Structure 1
Amino acid sequence: ATKKTRLVEVTNILTDFDRSQAQYAKSNGMHGLGGGTSSSLYYKTLSKSELDEIRRAVFDIASIGHLQRDKTGWKHGRTLMGICGENVNDGLACLKSWVTALNLPRGLLHGADEDGVPIDPETLGSVYIKYNTGGSITFTEMRQSGTGFDGLWKPGDAMLEGYDGDFRGVYLNVELEDAIFRQFGVLPLDLFEDAAGQQ
């Protein structure tokens, strides 16, 4: 299949996952804030082949983003993830496995310390980790915002913070040059758990 055809296929696969997940949550009583608990359990109803198809679709759309980042000098193809984890260890294990499997850049983890002193992971409880391949702000935008270099995320940087919601999983957004909004999730935290162990 051509890259354009495959992009349509993976978008449809991941959109169907989202739709089915929402229907599952609704039919199971929308447990948790916003149906988060119900939605997060949906993937456990899927067969191995269905999970393999979703894994391949995520890998392929991230690969398309990677190619566009290289081709356009980071103007297009930015990949963002929002990881909703039960705790710091779950969130970081997910971040490591997804970044490894998708061959995404690794950067700094912000929010894990306060003035250089590590935060006790137990005090955070559930966490949300924002990951970004970068390329989200230009120097002109940086000057206009007045944030200076502190506002410039480097490729692969992530931000760790506490999270009060009930969703568990990964929100994935890949910004491609066609400017179609593509955000999927929540995808399973452990979708790529084997990848982290291989490194």
Structure 2
Amino acid sequence: MINEIILESREDMKKMLWVVLMMSCGATFISSLFPLYSEYYQLSSLEITILFAVYAAILLPTLFVVGAKGNAWGLKRVLRWSIYLSIVSTLLFLVSFSVWILYTARLLEGIAYGAFTGTASAFLIKQTSQKKVSTAVKLSGAMVNLGFGLGPAISGLIVHAICAFSATSFSVFVSARYVIEFLGFSGNVTESRKFSSNKTC
């Protein structure tokens, strides 16, 4: 019985780390496309700077609020809604026809990742046995850093490969990424378990 619980915990930890990686990729994925948006919409340096800044401006307060209220609202529910918001943000980037839609999409992405970051660590800890908590936290940090690097790298390679701003190519890739991310979370990550050394087989 204990062995089965431990194995399930390891699987849940791996699946949650996968979601952390994918969300971190998504948070920075759009960065390599900003020069294309700048050229397409004739954005000034100030407007591009604001496009970067609004993300951080909304992420931090969201992180603090959700971090404090996450347990009351339900960690898994918050994580699900953060993924939904990321998907909406991506769709807005794809269908944008004005600068204000870009700003709206960027704000939503900030809210999404702020909410995700505010609850992901707590949820991961609840999915992990006490002996593995330290390892899980370290791996989570590694996945975040890896995702931050992979996001712009992948989108940059796509832009370089298609040599043009192709909304179709971009949408296919991003849609696939979010489908994998959502299925990996909603279909596989289960509710938290409590581990006790008093349990017997």
TM-score scaled by length of structure 2? 0.27
User: Which structure dedicates a bigger proportion of its chain to strand?
Assistant: 1
Q: Which structure would you say has the larger RCO, counting Cα contacts within 8 Å and 6 or more residues apart?
A: 2
User: Which structure dedicates a bigger proportion of its chain to helix?
Assistant: 2
TM-score scaled by length of structure 1? 0.28
